[in-house]
Structure 1
Amino acid sequence: MEAAVKEEISIEDEAVDKKNFKDCSKIAFYRRQKQQLSKKSTYQALLDSVTADKDSTRFQIINEATKIPLSAEVYGIEGDIFRLKINEEAPLKPRYEVPDVLTSKPSTVRLISCSGDADSLVLAYGKGDLKFHVTANPFKIDLVSAEEVVMSINSLGQLYFEHLQIPPKQSYQRKNENDVPVDTSQEYQQDLGLWEEKFRKFVDIKPNGPASIGLDFSLHGFEHLYGIPQHAESHKLKNTGDGDAYRLYNLDVYGYKIHDKMGVYGSVPYLIAHKLGRTVGIFWLNASETLVEINTEPAVESTPTQMDSVVNKQDVKSQTDVRWMSESGIIDVFLLTGPTPSDVFRQYSHLTGTQAMPPLFSLGYHQCRWNYEDEQDVKAVDAGFDEYDIPYDVMWLDIEHTNGKRYFTWDKKRFPNPKRLQELLRSKKRKLVVISDPHIKIDPNYALYAKAKEQGFFVRNHEGGDFEGICWPGLSSYLDFTNPKVREWYSGLFAFPVYQGSTDILFIWNDMNEPSVFRGPEQTMQKNAIHHGNWEHRELHNIYGFYQQMATAEGLIQRSKGKERPFVLTRSFFAGSQKYGAVWTGDNRSKWSYLKISIPMLLTLSITGISFCGADVGGFIGNPEAELLVRWYQAGAYQPFFRGHATKNTKRREPWLFGEEYTRLIREAIRARYTLLPYWYSLFYHAHVASEPVMRPLWVEFPDDLETFDVEDEYMLGSALLVHPVTQPKATIVDVFLPGSNEIWYDSKTFSHWEGACTVMIPVTLDTIPVFQRGGSVIPVKTTVGKAAGWMTDSPYGLWVALSTKGSAEGELYLDDGHSFQYLHKKQFLHRKFSFCSGVLINSCANESAHYPSKCVVEQILVLGFRKQPSSITTYSSDGKEQTVAFTYCAKTSSLSLEKLSLNIGTDWEVHIK
C-alpha cells in the first residue's frame, strides 16, 4: 500500500493533469441546464396564494409547462438583508438545507406589504427605502432601493428546478465486466446523467434522479464583481463564455494551474458587486457542487444622428448577469443590500460570523516543511533561528511525525519524547503545530480506528458499509464530521490525557479535508457516499472540511476548559470557516507567477469573510531561487498568515541557507512583521468585532475611486498601510498607484511623500519592500523585536504618526493577554485611541468599560509631514506631570522624531508640539 501512496506524490514537477478533473462539458447538471434553458420554459408566481406571518411571506411559483408548483419564502433579516428560499412544494423526500453555517437563526423583521395586485406583490423593509417587488407573470423579482432597481432575479427566465423522482423501471444491458447497469433510453443516449453519471472509470448512481437548481441575477449598473473563492484567478471576476464557469467544488489539486476557474480546496458561494455609490452582495447558501456564470455588458453611450435631438440621447447602463447552478439542495439566497462595502461585510458576518480573534503568537512567523525529520532536526532548525537572530513563533510537523500516518500518535523513533521537545519550545515562548487529517488508517490495532468503527463514526458507502479510500496511510476510512456525535468525540481526542504527548502549546493543522481520496473521482469522495441523516455526499461535499475545523477548534477550547483561544489552520473551507481559524491557498509552486497570483487570491478570501489567510512562502512545490524566496518573504510579511512551507524532495530552504546577504534580507522582512505586531493585532480585533477585512483591495478603502476597482497587485493593510509587493524578477522600478485625490502618502522607509491619485515610479533593490503609510493615520509598533512574540509583551511601543493634508491623524491600539478569552468574558483588554490635531497628540481611552494592566510605555514617536521645526515639545500625563522632550527634526523629509519617552500606553496623556 505504501508504494501506491508514493505513486500518488511522484508528480512533483508535472502540470495538473486536467483529465483527472471535470470541466463544464463533463458536468451533467450543467449540460442539462444549458440545454433546457435554451427552450425557455417560464415560471409564474401565483400571488393569490400569498400567506404571511411574523417571519416570512410565502407564495407558490408554477412551471407553465409542467404545472408542478414550487414554494417561495421571502424573509427580511435585521441589517437590510433579504432572504429568498425556493423549494419543492411537496418533495418526494426532504431536500438538503445547509445547517450550522449561519451563526444562529437570523433575526427577522416583518416585511410590510405596501402595494400590489394580482400581477405584483411589493414587500417593504423598514421605512420603505428597500423594496422586494415580485412580478407574477413571468415570475421576476426586483430589489429596489430609493426607487432604483439595483438587482433583478429571474429577469432572464433562468429559474431551474429538477424535482426528486421515483426511479423508473429501467431496461439495463450488462456491457462491461464490472456489471454496471446501462440504460439505453433516449435520455441516456443524450448523456444528460439523469439517473447515473459517468466520469472516467467511475459511475455515480442517483437513486432519486437529477435534483439540480439554478437562478439568474441581473445587477444593474455593475461591471465589477469579486468573491466566490477559491480560484487561482484575478480579483475581479471575469466573464465566462459558453462552456466556462467558475466552479465551487472542493478538490485536492496539487500544483494547481493559475488563471483557471476550476475549483480547488475551498468554496465560499458569496460574491460582491461594486459600483460608484453602491455595493451589494449575493450569498448562495448551498454546499453541493456549484457553478457560477458571469456576463458583463459594459455601459454604452448612444450617439445621436442628425435626426435625433440631444434630448433623445441615452446612456445604456452597464449590467452584469450572474447565474448560480448547484447540483442539489434548495435555492436559499441572501441579498445583502449594502449600500457601502463595510455595510456588506457587516451584513455577511451577521449571517456567518466574524473572524475568530487569533492568539497573538499565530500572527508571528511559522516555520514548516514536509517534513522535519526528527527531534534533532527540529532542535537544529529552532537553534538556527536564534543563531541568525531571526524571530519566529511556531514550528510545524507534517504527517511523518506520526506512527505510520496514524493521527494523534507519534513516531517513537523520530519523536521519542514529544513533551520534552515542546518544553524546549515553551522555554523560548514558541509553539508547535501538528497535522491531523480526516482519513483514518484501517487498522484494528489502532485504537482511534477501532473506536470510530465500533461507534459507526465513518462515512458509509452507498451499499451501507464503511467508505474506504486511499490516502497517506494507505487504505483509510473517513470520519463523518457532519454527525454532531462524531464532532463531539473528535473534539475529545485533543484532551491532554487522551492525546498522549500533547501539551497546551500544541495546536492543529487540518489538511486533505476536501476530502482528498487518492484514486477517487477527481481525487475526492464518491458523491453517493452516505453521511449522518442518510444524506448523500453530493449534498454537502463543500462543507466537509468546515466541519472538521469546527470540531478541531472546539476540541482545543475544551482541553483548556474554555479558557484558551485555539489556533487551527484548514485547507478546505466554506462560508463561515472564519469562525474557527485560518486558511491557506494550498499546494502552490515556487514560481514568480504563483507569488503574483497569491495577492488576488488572498484579497478575494479577505473580502468574503476569511481575514486570516495566507500563501505558502517560497511556494510549496519546487526550489525557489534566492531572489524569489526573498521577495516572497517580503510579501508574506505583509499578509495575514505568514508561513514558510515546502514539500518533500525539495532542497532545504531555512532562511539562513542562501548566503549571508539573503539571510539579512529575509531577517529584515520577518523583523518588519514583528515590529508591526501591535498594528496587526489591532486589525484582527476590528475584523473580529466589526467585520473589517485585515487585508483589503484598494476599492474597499476608496469605493468612489474608479481607478482602484481593477487594482490587484497592491493592497491596503487596514486603512493605514498600502503594500505593493515586488513580484517580478530583477525588478529595478515598480509602478505604484497611490489612490485618493485628497490623500498624502509617505514611503515608510525614506519618508518621501506624494499626493494621491497618481502613479509613482519607485526604484527598488532587493532590500526594498514598497510600503506606504497613509496621511491621517497613527500606527502602533514595537520598538524592539524579540525571539518570538511572547518575548515582546512588555517591550516598549512606538507610534508612527503620518499627517494628512490638514495636519491631523488618528489611530488605535488594541491590547489584551494575547491568548485567553478574558477579553470577551471579563472585558480584560485595553483599547486606546490616538489623535493628532493642531500640534497636539492625545492618547485616550476608546472603551471605558474595559481594563487591562500594562507596564508598557511609548518610548518613540515619529511624526511624518510636520512642516516646520518645533521650538519645544512637552508631554502632559494624567497625573499632572509635565516634561520637556528632546527631539530631532529633518527639514528635508519633514520628519520629527521623539526619543527616550516614557509614556504609559494604558493611561491618558498628551504631547504638545509648538
Structure 2
Amino acid sequence: MWRLALSSSRSPQSLIVSESDAGAKNLGKPVEDEAVDKNIFKDCSKIAFYRRQKQQLSKKSTYRALLDSVTAGKESTRFQIINEAAKVPLLAEVYGIEGNIFRLKINEETPLKPRYEVPDVLTSKPSTVRLISCSGDTGSLVLANGKGDLKCHITANPFKIDLVSEEDVVMSINSLGQLYFEQLQIPPKQRATKENEEDTSDDTTQENQEELGLWEEKFRNFVDVKDNGPASIGLDFSLHGFEHVYGIPQHAESHQLKNTSDGDAYRLYNLDVYGYKIHDKMGIYGSVPYLLAHKLGRTLGIFWLNASETLVEINTEPAVKYALTQTGPVAAKQKVRSQTDVHWMSESGIIDVFLLTGPTPSDVFKQYSYLTGTQAMPPLFSLGYHQCRWNYEDEHDVKAVDAGFDEHDIPYDVMWLDIEHTEGKRYFTWDKKRFPNPKRMQELLRSKKRKLVVISDPHIKIDPDYLVYAKAKEQGFFVRNHEGGDFEGVCWPGLSSYLDFTSPKVRQWYSSLFAFSVYQGSTDILYIWNDMNEPSVFRGPELTMQKNAIHHGNWEHRELHNIYGFYQQMATAEGLIQRSKGKERPFVLTRSFFAGSQKYGAVWTGDNTAEWSYLKISIPMLLTLSVTGISFCGADVGGFIGNPEAELLVRWYQAGAYQPFFRGHATKDTKRREPWLFGEEHTQLIQEAIRERYTLLPYWYSLFYSAHVASQPVMRPLWVEFPDELETFGVEDEYMLGSALLVHPVTEPKATVVDVFLPGSNEVWYDSKTFSHWKGACTVKIPVALDTIPVFQRGGSVVPIKTTIGRSTGCMTDSPYGLWVALSTKGSAVGEFYLDDGHSFQYLHQKQFLHRKFSFASGVLTNSCADKRGHYPSKCVVEQILVLGLKKHPSSVTSHSPDGKAQPVAFTYCAKTSTLNLEKFSLNIGADWKVQIQ
C-alpha cells in the first residue's frame, strides 16, 4: 500500500511513502527533494500495449489494401484494408486538405462501439481538396491534388502509401509493415461460448493474458481494469533523405530527436515529474504529437492526432555519401540517401494523421497552424518580467517585494501568488488572515500599471461547505470513478475531486466562476495560472488519474489523458474573456498542454532545478515548443527547485530576458531570491538584463503579431532561418529571435569565452554591444564577462526599441522609440513594427492597429505602411536611429516629414565601428517619413 505523508516540499513524490516507512518519525521530510524517482513512472517495458505491438510485429503479419473497394466521396477517398490473420476489414480514408496537406484516417469499419476521435483541437473543419484518381496499375492507386505536383501512391499488397512530390518519394507509410490495429472485443465475461473466447486471441493462457495486459494491467500496486480490452494502434513513416527530425514535446532532451532502441521510446504522456531528469525521453507535463523533419530543400510535418498515451520510436540511418562499387579500375561513386523511420504507437483511439508537405519551414508552420490555430496574441504586459514564488506570504510581503523593484529601479509587470493565497487550497478564495483585502492589494499594483496572477488548479477540495465543490457536486461536474461515483484523489488540499473539463457544460460553468460578481476579491488586473493539470494525483498510478476513470460521453480517461490540461486552459481563457464581455485579451499560463494549446495562452517547462544543466537544457526545450506551434513559452528563471548561486542566477536572467515567457520562480523551501538579494554587483547585472528585455519590447510585440497572423515562431532554431545550411541543423545552444537577432546564452560556470556560430555565407553580423561585425558562415570566439550575453543583429534588419524604460510596460506607452538599423553587405535593411492598445481585441474587430515597414536603401531610411487596413492613433515618436555598417562619414542627414518639410538631423559618426547615431529629432512612429543620409 502507498500512504500519504504531508510535506512542505512541492514535490508530489515527497508525498509517496512506502509501507516500510510508516513508523518513521520524519514523514514530513521529502523522499526525493531535488531529483525524480523514476521508479514511480513507467518505462516502455512496463507499458503493455508497447509489449504487445513489439511481440506481434515480430511475427510480420501484413495488411493489404482492397483496391476494388475504392469509393470516392466529396471529401475523401475510401478503401478497405485487411489483415489475413484478423480477417476483419479496416476502413482507410485519404483526404486532400487546403494548403498541401494530406490526412489519413484508419478505423474499424464496424467497431463494437465508437472509438475515440479527438475533438476541439482542429480550429474548424479543414477545407478539403478533391483528390483526382490517376491511372495506376491493377495493384496500385494514385491520388493527386488539383495541381498534380503532390501525389499519394497507394500500393495494395502489402499495403503502403508513398507521398510523392514532383516525382520524388519524400515519405512512405507502412513501408516497414508496422501498421497495427487492435479491434475492440467482447469482454471475456460476456462471451457466450468457450469457442468465441478461443477465437479472440492466439494467447489464451492466463499467464499470457497478464503479461500482455489485455484486460488488466498491473503497475506497482495499481491494477488498471480495461472494460474495452486491448485497443492500441500503430503505424510507421519512412522519411526519405532526412537525417534531422524535431518536435514531439515535452521532453527534457535535445532539440534534434535522437535514435531510440528496443525498450526506449519518446513517451507522450502528461505527468507531474518534479525535478525531471534531463537528457531523458520520459514524458513530462505536456504532449504535442507533432514531428517535423528537415533536409536541404524540403521540410515535412507529421501530426498524429491522438490524445491517449503515445510512444514514438525513431531510427535514423545517416547518408553514406559515397558507396564504392568495384566496376573497374576506378571505383564508381554512388550517392546513398539517408532515411529516418518514425514509428508511432498509441494506447487507443483511431489512426488520424496529417501529413504536412511544406516544402519550406514557413510553409509547414502555416500548415500546422491552419489545423490547430496560431499563437494567441498576448496582452503586452505579459511580455514583461513576472515575479513569482511559492509563496508570497501575505499582502505586506507583496507590497514589500513590489516596492523593492521600484527601489532598485528594476522594471516588472506581474506579481504572482501560488496556492497559499487561498483559504485552505480552495481555489477562487482568499486566505482571510494573509490577504484580508485583495482588492486593495490589486489597486496598489494597478497604480503602477502592474498586474496580478493567481493559481487555479483542476482539483477541488472535498468540502460540502466550499461553494465551488458543492455546486460542482450537485451538477455532476466531476470526473467519475470506474464504479460511477465521483473520482477522488489526493492533491494539495487533501482529498479532492477533479472537474471534468472535457464536458462543454463544465467548461461553461468553470468559465462563469471568473466573473467579478462570483470571484470575490478579483479585479480586471487579475489573471490566471493553471497548474497540476496533467492531472496530478498524488497517490494515483504515476501520480496521475487512473485510466479507467470516466469522463463526459462515457469516455475513459485513457482515451483523452493528454488533452485534459488543454481543456482547463481553454475554459480559463474563455472565462477571462467573458468577464470583460469579450473586450479584453486573457492571459493564462498552463503546465499541461496539447496540440493547439497555443490558442489559449502560455506554457512553461515546469519544475526545473537550479543547476547549470537545467539552464542549458531549457534552450532546446523551448526551441522544440516553438517549432510545434507554442511560441509563448519559457522556463523558470533561476530554477524552481534549490538555491542558485549568484553567477547562475545572473546567467539565467540574461537567458530569460531573450526568451518569450520571462518569469522568476522558486519553491517555498528555497531561500528568497528577489533580484536585489545577491549583492550590489549582481543586482546591477540582473537589472541590466531585465531592462534589456524592456528595451526590446516593441520588437517582441511585433514578433508575437507575426506568430499570431503568419504562424512564424518567435524563438527559432537556426535551421528555420537558414534552411539551406547543413551546419545549422543540429545547433541548439543558440537561436534566433525572429529573423533579426541571434542569441547565445552563457550556460557554463566561470565562462570567459564562448564559441558562437554565425550562419550565412552572405550575411554580416553585428555585436549588439560593441558594434563589431563579422561575416557569416564562421564560428567566432567571443570573450564574455559576467555582464555579457552574446547577442548579434543580422545585417539587413531593422529592430524597433524603446529608448526609455518605465517601471512596467503600462508606464512606457507614450515613451519614445528608437531604431537599430543593421546594414547588409549590400547596404540595405528592412524591418517591421506593430502597435495596438496592448490589451483589447480592437485590433481584430475594429482594425485598431499600426503595422509599419522600415526599409533602408541607397542611403534613405523609409517608414511606410505595411497594412493599410489598420489605423491606430499614436503620439509616440522615433527620437533615435542607430545605423550599423555605414562605411563612410555622412556630409549631412535630413528628415522629410509627410508634409514635405526637410529638417537637418544632428548626428555623430564613429569611423572605428562604422556606426551612425542620429538623435534629437522627433518623427511620428505611425506616419510616412524619410531620413536621407548623404
Bin of the TM-score, shorter chain as denominator length:
over 0.9
Contact kept? 1:57, 1:75, Cα under 8 Å: yes
The letter of the residue matching 2:898 is: S
Say whether residues 1:731 and 2:747 are aligned partners.
no
Cα offset, 1:324, TM superposition: 0.1
Cα offset, 1:311, TM superposition: 8.6
2:345 is matched with: 325
1:509 is matched with: 529
Deviation string, structure 1 residues 151-201 (Cα, Å, up to 9, x no partner)? 000000000000111111499xxxxxxxxxxx9934536601000000000
1:138 is matched with: 158
SS of 1:75's equivalent in the other structure is strand
The letter of the residue matching 2:426 is: R
Q: Structure 1: which 4+ aligned runs deviate by more than 6 Å?
A: none
Say whether residues 1:576 and 2:578 are aligned partners.
no
SS of 1:35's equivalent in the other structure is helix
Contact kept? 1:5, 1:470, Cα under 8 Å: no
Say whether residues 1:36 and 2:56 are aligned partners.
yes
TM-score (norm 1): 0.98
Return the alpha-carbon distance in structure 1 between the equivalents of residues 323 and 126 of structure 2.
49
Return the alpha-carbon distance in structure 2 between the equivalents of residues 766 and 684 of structure 1.
30
Say whether residues 1:272 and 2:272 are aligned partners.
no
Aligned CA distance change for structure 1 residues 5 and 649 (closer, same or farther; 3 Å) = closer
2:587 is matched with: 567
Return the alpha-carbon distance in structure 1 between the equivalents of residues 545 and 210 of structure 2.
26
Aligned CA distance change for structure 1 residues 675 and 318 (closer, same or farther; 3 Å) = same
Aligned CA distance change for structure 1 residues 383 and 2 (closer, same or farther; 3 Å) = farther
Cα offset, 1:299, TM superposition: 1.1
Contact kept? 2:34, 2:642, Cα under 8 Å: no
2:768 is matched with: 748
| Aligned equivalent of 2:262, options 242, 260, 268 | 242
Contact kept? 1:229, 1:268, Cα under 8 Å: yes
Correspondence 1:354-393 to 2 at 5 A: 354-393=374-413
Say whether residues 1:651 and 2:671 are aligned partners.
yes
Return the alpha-carbon distance in structure 2 between the equivalents of residues 51 and 445 of structure 1.
59
Deviation string, structure 1 residues 28-64 (Cα, Å, up to 9, x no partner)? 0000000000000000000000011110000000002
RMSD: 1.3
2:923 is matched with: 903
1:198 is matched with: 218
Aligned CA distance change for structure 1 residues 537 and 305 (closer, same or farther; 3 Å) = closer
Return the alpha-carbon distance in structure 2 between the equivalents of residues 187 and 47 of structure 1.
40
The letter of the residue matching 1:356 is: A
Correspondence 1:464-475 to 2 at 5 A: 464-475=484-495
Contact kept? 1:5, 1:474, Cα under 8 Å: no
1:830 is matched with: 850
Return the alpha-carbon distance in structure 2 between the equivalents of residues 108 and 401 of structure 1.
50
Contact kept? 2:210, 2:217, Cα under 8 Å: no
The letter of the residue matching 1:128 is: G
The letter of the residue matching 2:504 is: P
Return the alpha-carbon distance in structure 2 between the equivalents of residues 361 and 679 of structure 1.
14
Return the alpha-carbon distance in structure 2 between the equivalents of residues 186 and 891 of structure 1.
84
2:467 is matched with: 447
| Aligned equivalent of 2:823, options 803, 810, 820 | 803
1:314 is matched with: 334
Return the alpha-carbon distance in structure 1 between the equivalents of residues 803 and 327 of structure 2.
72
1:77 is matched with: 97
| Aligned equivalent of 2:505, options 485, 489, 510 | 485
1:522 is matched with: 542
Deviation string, structure 1 residues 866-903 (Cα, Å, up to 9, x no partner)? 00000000000001211011100000000000011100
Say whether residues 1:120 and 2:137 are aligned partners.
no
Return the alpha-carbon distance in structure 2 between the equivalents of residues 305 and 139 of structure 1.
33
SS of 2:211's equivalent in the other structure is coil
More deviation, 136-145/12-21: 12-21
Return the alpha-carbon distance in structure 1 between the equivalents of residues 398 and 208 of structure 2.
58
Say whether residues 1:864 and 2:864 are aligned partners.
no
1:711 is matched with: 731
Say whether residues 1:16 and 2:36 are aligned partners.
yes
The letter of the residue matching 1:526 is: Q
2:19 is matched with: none
Return the alpha-carbon distance in structure 1 between the equivalents of residues 90 and 378 of structure 2.
44
Aligned CA distance change for structure 1 residues 38 and 648 (closer, same or farther; 3 Å) = same
1:691 is matched with: 711
Cα offset, 1:702, TM superposition: 0.1
Contact kept? 2:4, 2:539, Cα under 8 Å: no
TM-score (norm 2): 0.96
Say whether residues 1:786 and 2:788 are aligned partners.
no
Return the alpha-carbon distance in structure 1 between the equivalents of residues 361 and 542 of structure 2.
36
The letter of the residue matching 2:775 is: E
Cα offset, 1:114, TM superposition: 1.4
SS of 2:426's equivalent in the other structure is coil
| Aligned equivalent of 2:645, options 619, 625, 634 | 625
Return the alpha-carbon distance in structure 2 between the equivalents of residues 619 and 352 of structure 1.
31
Return the alpha-carbon distance in structure 2 between the equivalents of residues 731 and 892 of structure 1.
28
Aligned CA distance change for structure 1 residues 308 and 90 (closer, same or farther; 3 Å) = farther
Return the alpha-carbon distance in structure 2 between the equivalents of residues 201 and 618 of structure 1.
37
1:437 is matched with: 457
The letter of the residue matching 2:362 is: S
Return the alpha-carbon distance in structure 1 between the equivalents of residues 32 and 587 of structure 2.
29
SS of 2:136's equivalent in the other structure is strand
Return the alpha-carbon distance in structure 2 between the equivalents of residues 690 and 820 of structure 1.
20
Contact kept? 1:2, 1:473, Cα under 8 Å: no
Cα offset, 1:304, TM superposition: 3.3
SS of 1:116's equivalent in the other structure is coil
Return the alpha-carbon distance in structure 2 between the equivalents of residues 560 and 71 of structure 1.
47
| Aligned equivalent of 1:674, options 672, 677, 694 | 694
2:198 is matched with: none
Deviation string, structure 1 residues 431-459 (Cα, Å, up to 9, x no partner)? 00000000000000000000000000000
Return the alpha-carbon distance in structure 2 between the equivalents of residues 74 and 117 of structure 1.
19
The letter of the residue matching 1:664 is: Q
Contact kept? 1:284, 1:334, Cα under 8 Å: yes
Cα offset, 1:601, TM superposition: 0.1
The letter of the residue matching 1:608 is: T
Return the alpha-carbon distance in structure 1 between the equivalents of residues 226 and 306 of structure 2.
19
1:174 is matched with: none
Deviation string, structure 1 residues 362-419 (Cα, Å, up to 9, x no partner)? 0000000000000000000000000000000000000000000000000000000000
SS of 2:894's equivalent in the other structure is strand
Cα offset, 1:14, TM superposition: 3.8
Return the alpha-carbon distance in structure 2 between the equivalents of residues 225 and 427 of structure 1.
49
Say whether residues 1:661 and 2:681 are aligned partners.
yes
Return the alpha-carbon distance in structure 2 between the equivalents of residues 53 and 92 of structure 1.
25
Return the alpha-carbon distance in structure 1 between the equivalents of residues 410 and 189 of structure 2.
70
Contact kept? 2:323, 2:336, Cα under 8 Å: no
Contact kept? 2:658, 2:743, Cα under 8 Å: yes
Return the alpha-carbon distance in structure 2 between the equivalents of residues 307 and 782 of structure 1.
67
Aligned CA distance change for structure 1 residues 677 and 302 (closer, same or farther; 3 Å) = closer
Runs of 5+ consecutive residues of structure 2 not aligned to the other structure:
9-13, 16-28, 192-202
Runs of 5+ consecutive residues of structure 1 not aligned to the other structure:
172-182
Contact kept? 1:265, 1:573, Cα under 8 Å: yes
| Aligned equivalent of 2:6, options 4, 7, 23 | 4
Return the alpha-carbon distance in structure 2 between the equivalents of residues 210 and 385 of structure 1.
57
Return the alpha-carbon distance in structure 2 between the equivalents of residues 2 and 434 of structure 1.
27
| Aligned equivalent of 1:110, options 120, 130, 134 | 130
SS of 1:460's equivalent in the other structure is coil
| Aligned equivalent of 1:604, options 618, 621, 624 | 624
Aligned CA distance change for structure 1 residues 159 and 308 (closer, same or farther; 3 Å) = farther
Contact kept? 1:5, 1:471, Cα under 8 Å: no
Return the alpha-carbon distance in structure 2 between the equivalents of residues 336 and 490 of structure 1.
35
SS of 2:548's equivalent in the other structure is coil
Cα offset, 1:301, TM superposition: 3.8
